[in-house]
Amino acid sequence: MKRWRIARQINGWLFLLPAIAFLTLFTYWPALKTLVEGFYSTARPRRPAHFIGIDQYRQLIDDPVFWQALSNNAWYALVSIPVATGIALVMAIWVNDRVPGRALARMAYFTPTVLPMIAVANIWLFFYTPQYGLLEQVVSIFGGPPHNWLGSSSSALAAVTIVAIWKEAGFFMIFYLAALQQISPVLAEAAALEGASRWQFFRRVQFPLLMPTTLFVLINAIINAFRTVDHIIVMTRGGPDNSTMLLLYYVYQVGFSFWDTGYAAALTMVLLALLAAVSLVQYGWLDRRVHYR
Amino acid sequence: MDRRNFLTGATALAGLASGRARAAEATEITFYYPVAVGGPITKIVDGYAADFEKANPEVKVRPIYAGTYQETIVKMLTAHKSGTPPTTSVLLSTDMFSLIDEDAIVPIDGLLKSDADRGWLKSFFPAFMENSRTAGETWGVPFQRSTIVLYWNKDAFREAGLDPEKAPANWDEHVAFAQKLTKRDPSGNATQWGTQIPSSGFPYWLFQALATEAGTKFMDEAGTHTFFDKPEAVEALQYWADLSQKYKCHPPGIVEWGTTPKDFFERKCAMMWTTTGNLTNVRNNTKFPFGVAILPAHKQPGSPTGGGNFYISKKVPAEQQAAAVRFIQWMTSPERAAQWSVDTGYVAVRPDAYDTPTMKAYVEKFPPAAVARDQLKYATAELSTHENQRVTKALNDAIQATLTGSKPADRALKDAQVEAERILKPYR
């Protein structure tokens, strides 16, 4: 009996082994290495890396670009996540109903997700172009003043945030749509018999049942808010004057333009710690408040 | 089996073996290059490599397209750190100090044996060599190089009552012309700007033109000191900001580098400052007569040079380095330099290239091609220091802060100078 249990355990571990091997090789080991490197100076040919303790982190606290990247990223996340999720939910409910041209609408909403971010960024680059860009043309029809959307510090971050929302909402809509179709039509009939309004039905029935999906979408949205920087590279390269600098792009710049790998490692650790904290809150606290069927 | 058949087979086999032996003697060199302008560049480069192999059968060249300049240096340095760098690569001339600090390249003069070889390094335009030398040694060989020139729309000049054959010669004329050339609709929105100086990506390059014209330099030859906050530099940045903020003849905010030629084609700007590398692009896409001129002067005319140099990696065998020198000499010969200039729009890197029949015919048919050459006598080295990209970023941020109106010119440049001092101190 006991032998059988041990065999079962070995079996289990064997099944886990491929995943563990790959995760260790490509995630845990690099993360550990990054943590260690953050405590060393950047190796230069004539000055090999040596232990400097928390100097990199001290430099980080004094680095105004880091703080700007952090606050930009916070703003970017706080705006793009709720808006993208909200729009995704509304779109899903809309195309879940029996409206004419439903398939077409679903496809249209999903299209931005299929396009590569680099292509999307180039399309939006044209939308935002001063003078003859699409946005400028529309604004000028209504007699609005011209504006250099990506070229002024006040609007550039908002402009790239909108691109992210546009790109993400369709993706999240698919999850909501799938979840909505799992909800039994009996509930809708019961609600109708009780005389519940459309809003009451959504607020009391649909929304609570969608909570697991919402949690999943939120986690993805947060990860994406810190991970997606392709459009920054194409559209602004962090400019003007760092107003669209996001953390990951700053890590890239420090690592692969300045070749200051030690400092880049320290920056990466901050990013990792942030994401770890977020997922801890989500899985530890939010998860318990979500109603799973 | 027929005996004769067997014999031919054996000879063929022997031939194959000796062929392989000959191939083993040939030195193979790898060559990373970026593409930074329009046109079928990869095809042209592959063609050059094949021609070189035909003339030098004992050297095999493997050209590898490696992306943008930034991607190419990332690949080159990563390969260097793993111990297998390409034999030679074309990288930004301004990355010289970074490459030296990474111990990735060797001085070219150390590889030259004969007097003729050493004379070869003297055959280039001196302006291009400024970005190739430091501490008495030559580290890079000019290849795809450019400068900034002014393009103007002759139709727009005529409509504004200006002489269509005369470009602005100095800063005052530049503003006066630009104001006349700016057109507005009844509600006061500009439909055509007078002039346009792009400021995204690498604004320091355009700013260096203005600062050179105002009479100041950005750095010393050792690449360890910068002079960003000199009064002349402040004056230059103020002039640039004033074009949009005071004279209202230049689009406000940050102007995109990539769309500037398009703005010019679409008649959204009547004059633009951009690289000579765009010459072929402008020539193919404008539907109106246009002119090309050297940049307007202030205290003096001036523009920085730009573009890429050949470098030779340190961690490769000596015979490969020697083969790379021969390849580079061949690629920068007068005929090849002329051909490359005609094919791409880059400036031919040596004066005698302009005496070749290819270049003479090209310039005769298309006189603007000679403007870049004429400007070279006023050209200065592009900003290049140790930790180049970091120092450059400090300056870029300052320029963008002033152009978007969030910092006055003097304070922004002072901040950039303080940051550059901090970065460069360990290198002195």
Tell me if A129 and B256 make a contact (CB, 8 A cut-off): yes
Q: Which domain holds residue A217?
A: 64-289
Nearest one of B62, B67, B50, B54 to B308, comparing CA atoms? B67
Q: Which of A140, A257, A260 sits opposite B189 (nearest CB)?
A: A140
Q: Which residues of B touch A (CB under 8 A)?
A: 70, 74, 77, 98, 101-103, 187, 189-191, 199-201, 251-256, 259, 263, 266, 268, 387, 389-390, 393, 396-398, 400-401, 403-404, 406-407
Report the pLDDT value the prediction gives residue B16, as an integer from 0 to 100.
44
Q: Which amino acid is at A120?
A: V
Pairing of strands B379-380, B303-312: parallel
How far is Cα A251 from Cα A238, in angstroms, rounded to an integer?
12
Q: Is 3.40.190.10 the CATH number for B147-305+381-427?
A: yes
Report the pLDDT value the prediction gives residue A237, as an integer from 0 to 100.
87
Tell me if A148 and B253 make a contact (CB, 8 A cut-off): yes
Q: Which amino acid is at A270?
A: V
Residue B410 reports pLDDT greater than 50? yes
Is B365 strand, coil or helix?
helix
ipTM of predicted assembly, 2 dp: 0.75
Is the minimum CB–CB distance between A67 and chain B shorter than 8 Å? no
Q: Report the pLDDT averaged over residues A34-54.
A: 82
| Residue A90 covered by a domain | yes
Output the CA angle A184-A187-A192, nearest 5 degrees.
140
Confidence of residue B19 (pLDDT cuts 50, 70, 90): very low
How far is Cα A242 from Cα B317, in angstroms, rounded to an integer?
43
CB B202 within 8 A of CB B392: yes
Q: What would the pLDDT profile of A49-98 be if each residue is shown by its tens digit?
A: 888 888 889 888 888 899 999 999 999 999 999 999 999 999 888 888 77
Q: Please list the residue range(s) of chain B that carry CATH number 3.40.190.10.
A: 8-145+307-363, 147-305+381-427
Q: What would the pLDDT profile of A100-147 be if each residue is shown by its tens digit?
A: 888 888 888 888 888 888 888 988 988 888 877 888 888 888 877 778
- End-to-end CA distance of chain A: give it in Å, rounded: 35
Is B183 strand, coil or helix?
strand
The residues that bridge with B88 in the sheet, in sequence order, are B31, B312
CB A116 within 8 A of CB B237: no
How far is Cα B259 from Cα B241, in angstroms, rounded to an integer?
20
Residues contacting residue A134 through CB under 8 Å, at least 6 positions apart: A126, A127
> Chain B partners of A129 at a C-beta cutoff of 8 Å?
256, 259
The dihedrals phi and psi of B151, each to the nearest 5 degrees, come to -105, 135
Residue B58 reports pLDDT greater than 60? yes
> Chain B partners of A260 at a C-beta cutoff of 8 Å?
390
Q: Which amino acid is at B76?
A: M
| Residue A35 covered by a domain | no
Superfamily of domain B8-145+307-363: Periplasmic binding protein-like II (3.40.190.10)
A with B: how many residue pairs have Cβ under 8 Å apart?
88
| Residue A181 covered by a domain | yes
Report the pLDDT value the prediction gives residue B414, as an integer from 0 to 100.
95
Task: Indicate the range of A140-144, B210-214, B385-389, B401-405 predicted with least confidence.
Answer: A140-144
Tell me if B77 and A259 make a contact (CB, 8 A cut-off): yes
How far is Cα B58 from Cα B250, in angstroms, rounded to an integer?
56
| Residue A17 covered by a domain | no
Could you tell me the pTM of the whole model?
A: 0.82
Nearest one of A81, A170, A69, A166 to A121, comparing CA atoms? A166
Nearest one of B235, B216, B201, B200 to B302, comparing CA atoms? B216
Q: What would the pLDDT profile of A189-237 be if each residue is shown by its tens digit?
A: 888 888 888 888 888 888 888 888 888 888 888 888 998 888 998 888 8
Is A17 strand, coil or helix?
helix
| Residue A189 covered by a domain | yes
Kindly report the CATH number assigned to the domain that includes residue A256. Answer: 1.10.3720.10
Residue at token pair 């001092």: B421
| Residue A102 covered by a domain | yes
How far is Cα A288 from Cα A160, in angstroms, rounded to an integer?
34
How far is Cα A150 from Cα A173, in angstroms, rounded to an integer?
28
Is the minimum CB–CB distance between A240 and chain B shorter than 8 Å? yes
In Å, how far is A44's CA from the nearest CA of chain B?
6
Pairing of strands B59-65, B27-33: parallel
Residue B21 reports pLDDT greater than 80? no
CB B194 within 8 A of CB B179: yes
| Cβ burial B116-136 (10 Å sphere, 16+ → b, else e) | eeeebbebbbebbbbbbbbee
The first and second tokens of residue A107, run together, are: 């496809």
Q: Report the pLDDT averaged over residues B326-339.
A: 93
| Residue A278 covered by a domain | yes
Pairing of strands B190-196, B183-184: antiparallel
Which helix (H) or strand (E) segment is B184 a member of?
A: strand B183-184
CB B328 within 8 A of CB B336: no
The dihedrals phi and psi of B116, each to the nearest 5 degrees, come to -60, -40
Higher pLDDT, A288 or B73: B73
How many independent structural domains does chain A possess?
1
